Structure formats: structure tokens, C-alpha cells
């Protein structure tokens, strides 16, 4: 898989305006679950993972008014991963000062070194999946149930178009049209917040 492009600068630049409620809403919807999932995967309870994610979002909010997009300095998501790791370290450091019941994750399980290649790759993979989930959630109410089902069966579950047509009660041509319409809308939504491609949907549509 090719290297993941950076988050679309237009969205990041819009976040410099703290009054741009729509930009912040999109950003929070897209990135908070990513940060939450990272923390939960490292042993945090739901409430703790939510607290750390909120702290990360606060840090971003404080930093964005002075944000200057410079792709030469690295991806925005790379910086976000660093912020997330730092907040996670602080969380565990606090837990060490205030011991919790045995069995919970401790700071000893986490390194303060730079994230490794595997960790960064997983972070990018999780973001692309989150990007698809976000776009799908936005797009689904815009389509008739059979249209969405035809898309899902063929594009996500990889069911042959002929079998999908029989299952949803559409013609073969209608299934191809439904798939193309939904994918076009998903791409439009994705491009509104990121330069990413749609995970798993870049293969041919025939």
C-alpha cells in the first residue's frame, strides 16, 4: 500500500478559526474516535480513554490558532500521534502516583521513545478505517436502503454483482449504478476532510 497522504490542508487551516463550528465538528467526529481507540487498545477503561481523548482535543484546540501547514515538517497525524502518546504517558504517570487495583496497564508497558514503524502504520490504518466509517455514516441516510445494500454487498462484502442483484431485487445494471453512486458520494465526503483514498474501495467498479 502506498504512503498515506496528509490530512487535507484546507480543513486544518479552517481550524485556525475557532469560530468555524462546522470545521471543528468534522474534526472532532473524525479524530476523537481515532484517539479513543488508540487509548482503549492500550488498556484504558472506557471513561479513562474518553478523558485522554478529550485532553488531546483540548491540546489541538489550543495549538490550531497558530497552526501553519508545512508538509515538509511531517504529517499532521504524526504530530497528533505524538500528542496522544504524551497524554497517555501523563495518564499513566498519574496512575503510578495514585495506584489502582492490580491488573491495570501501567506506564511500564509504554515507551516514551518515538513510535515505531508498526505503530505508525497501525495508526494510519486505523485512521483510514475511521475515515471510511465516518463517510459511510454521513452518506447512508442519503440513499434508499436497496441502493445502499447493493453498494455494501458488492464493494464491502465483495459479493458478485449478479448475486447482489438477486439478493436485493435489483437488475444487474441497477446494482452497478448504485455502487457507483454511493462510492462517488463517499469519495466526495472523504475529500471534504482529507486527501485520503477510500480504504478497500480503490479497486475497479466493474
CATH 1.10.1740.10 is right for the domain spanning 1-115: yes
CATH top class, domain 139-206: mainly alpha
Question: 135 pLDDT band (50/70/90 cuts)?
Answer: very high
pLDDT value of position 102 = 40
- Specify the pTM: 0.78
Question: 4 pLDDT band (50/70/90 cuts)?
Answer: very low
Alpha-helical regions (H) of 64-171: 76-97, 117-139, 145-151, 161-168
Q: Which of the two residues, 194 and 102, has the higher pLDDT score?
A: 194
- DSSP three-state, residue 201: coil
Q: Where in the chain is the domain with CATH 1.10.10?
A: 139-206
Give me the sign of the Cα torsion angle 186, 188, 193, 198: positive
Q: Where in the chain is the domain with CATH 1.10.1740.10?
A: 1-115
* Residue appearing with cell numbers 475529500: 191
pLDDT digits (tens, 9 = 90+) for 64-102: 887 766 655 567 888 899 999 999 999 988 877 655 554
103 has a pLDDT exceeding 90? no
Amino acid at each position: 500500500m502506498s504512503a498515506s497522504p496528509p490530512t487535507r490542508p484546507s480543513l486544518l487551516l479552517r481550524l485556525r478559526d475557532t469560530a468555524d463550528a462546522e470545521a471543528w465538528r468534522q474534526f472532532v467526529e473524525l479524530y476523537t474516535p481515532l484517539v479513543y481507540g488508540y487509548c482503549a487498545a492500550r488498556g484504558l477503561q472506557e471513561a479513562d480513554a474518553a478523558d485522554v481523548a478529550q485532553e488531546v482535543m483540548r491540546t489541538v484546540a489550543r495549538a490550531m490558532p497558530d497552526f501553519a501547514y508545512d508538509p515538509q515538517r511531517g504529517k499532521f497525524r504524526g504530530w497528533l500521534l505524538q500528542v496522544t502518546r504524551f497524554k497517555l504517558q501523563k495518564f499513566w504517570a498519574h496512575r503510578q502516583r495514585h495506584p489502582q487495583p492490580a491488573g491495570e496497564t501501567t506506564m511500564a508497558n509504554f515507551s516514551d521513545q518515538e513510535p515505531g514503524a508498526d505503530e505508525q502504520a497501525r495508526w494510519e490504518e486505523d485512521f483510514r478505517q475511521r475515515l471510511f466509517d465516518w463517510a459511510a455514516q454521513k452518506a447512508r441516510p442519503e440513499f434508499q436502503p436497496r441502493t445502499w445494500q447493493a453498494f455494501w454487498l458488492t464493494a464491502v462484502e465483495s459479493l458478485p454483482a449478479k448475486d447482489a442483484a438477486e439478493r436485493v431485487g435489483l437488475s444487474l445494471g441497477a446494482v452497478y449504478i448504485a455502487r457507483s453512486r454511493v462510492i462517488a458520494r463517499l469519495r466526495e465526503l472523504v475529500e471534504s476532510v482529507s486527501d485520503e483514498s477510500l480504504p478497500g474501495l480503490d479497486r475497479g467498479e466493474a
